[in-house]
A and B are shown apart, each in its own frame.
Chain A
Amino acid sequence: MREFKIAQPRTADELAALLAETKEPVAMMAGGTDLIDELKSGVATAGLVADLQAVAGLAGIVPEKEGLRIGAMTKVVDLDEDAAVARNYPSLRQAARSLATPQLRNVGTVGGNLCQRPRCWYYRDPQVVCRKKGGFNCYAFQGRNKYHAIFGGSGCFIVYPSDLAPALISLGAKATIGSVKGDKVVPLEQFYALPEIDGRRENILDKGQFLKSVWVPAPKAGQKAVYVKLKERGTWDFALVSAAVTGVVQGGVFAEISVVMGGVAPIPWRLRKAEDVLRGKPVSEALVRQAVDEALKDASPLRENGYKADLAFAALKEAVLAAAA
């Protein structure tokens, strides 16, 4: 790793002021398990790293009147082991448990997972200056693209790797963004931005802003939530395709349903067309097939990733049938 300085702000106000007033680029380190890899390979360079570890009030899972607040610096292991999460948001626990390894979950944070950089092998190669790094081309588009996007790619075909994001978005989570101007709350779905908006980042955080917490609404009566992750290895793998389904089932039909997929698009991908098909009709495998076919009308698979269309059906079938059971 090249040398850098490290700032250790003690309050969210100090952090906000540091980010706003420092002219050189500041890299924020939450758990650091991904940033350190990028600093070692040279994909990321930073003269100044802001260590979020000592910032008061950023960690912790706090029950609130109408939901649960999860601080950005909450460790993934704490999410996995939290009783309220297990009781009210089973899909979130499944997602937390499915990601990385025990060692990484002991250090990695919720905020870090939600803001992690993509796994695209062209992006991760320090020799390659691709669109995401300010270059002109996406090398995956005509190159090796087995793990790349089938939805939403335009100029850049990464997939968003987070497991927590699809589960949280499907549960209706909101993100609180901090800055010197005060806190701003946005639906987590709108926290992410497609490459057509800015190819160099995956979310809406501007200079000076940081993710402070996420808030998940209290579950509705009869709410079911399932996260299904399909991967190549049994453990310790990013999703090829994942599906997060949250729904309320009444008399064998989904009165409400929200479907978000991971591993298929540069951002967590909400399948509204599939939701429209699934809502209000008796749940069956054929209905899921119809829902996926409707959603796949928006897909543009690349040369090596057409299989993700089949996995999308498999993941959604498993999640929907489990939620409806």
Chain B
Amino acid sequence: MEKNPDKKHPGGVSRRDFIKGMGTGALGTAVLPPLLGQTIATRKGRVPVYDKKTITLTVNGKKASLTVEPNETLLDVLRDRLDLAGTKKICDRGECGGCTVLLDRAPVYACMYLAIRADGKAVKTVEGLAEGEKLHPVQEAFIEKDGYQCGFCTPGFLMTTSAFLEKNPAPSLDEIKQALSGNLCRCGNYAKIYGAVDAAARKMRGA
């Protein structure tokens, strides 16, 4: 790819402009608006474009502000930048569900979501499920019903289940299977996982 597009054509961002912008940006990141990018001039106005962007996430209820590059996934940012390694990187291709987190309360694959696009959103990871020492009912149920074997896929299953039961407090077995269809367990412990989800549903609705 052309690294230094010609400054004259309207669709490019010159590296020189970018570095100039960085000079002030880097000195004043604490006080200046978090705009580490530039804009591309078009006939319809200037379109923001970023090599880096300072984003703010609410992670497990706490605000976190950090500068990310466009090719960083939410998964890598959570694990490597915010030290939240409970979210697992298994396939890294949106095929296994091990990295499932809640983004504005909806389960998503963190490996297939760019961190830069999560700016301003609320993220919940497995670390945010328990309240202090008090486990979430879904966690309790997975322990009681042996809803895991090696446990590596479990954080993903817990996140998917917790969001699913908020939407559907009394699911049928078929609905449980459909809801968990985006999470894979290589140990093949599905029967007990479904039992754990059913037990968690009963706990959560006090039945």
Contacts and interface: CB of A to CB of B under 8 A. Distances in A.
B140 interface: no
A17 B47 contact: yes
B42 A18 contact: yes
Interface in A96-117: 100-104, 106-107
Contacts of B45: 13-14, 17
5 contacts: A37-B112, A102-B107, A102-B179, A104-B109, A106-B106
Contacts of B164: 102
Given A101-B97, A103-B97, A103-B107, A23 B47 contact: no
Given A4-B70, A5-B70, A104-B94, A22 B40 contact: yes
A88 interface: no
B179 to A, nearest CB: 6
Contacts of A106: 103, 106-108
- Pick from A24, A48, A103 the residue with the most CB of B within 10 Å: A103
A8 interface: yes
Given A24-B12, A40-B93, A9 B47 contact: yes
Given A102-B160, A103-B107, A8 B181 contact: no
Nearest to A47: B1
A102 B70 contact: no
Interface string B99-124: 01001001111001110110000000
Contacts, number: 137
Give 7 nearest A-B pairs by CB, closest first. Answer: A101-B182, A22-B11, A17-B42, A235-B181, A17-B44, A6-B70, A1-B71
B126 interface: no
Contact of A8 (B47, B97, B106): B47
B71 A39 contact: yes
A17 B43 contact: yes
A278 B93 CA distance: 43
A107 B112 contact: yes
A210 to B, nearest CB: 14
A21 interface: yes
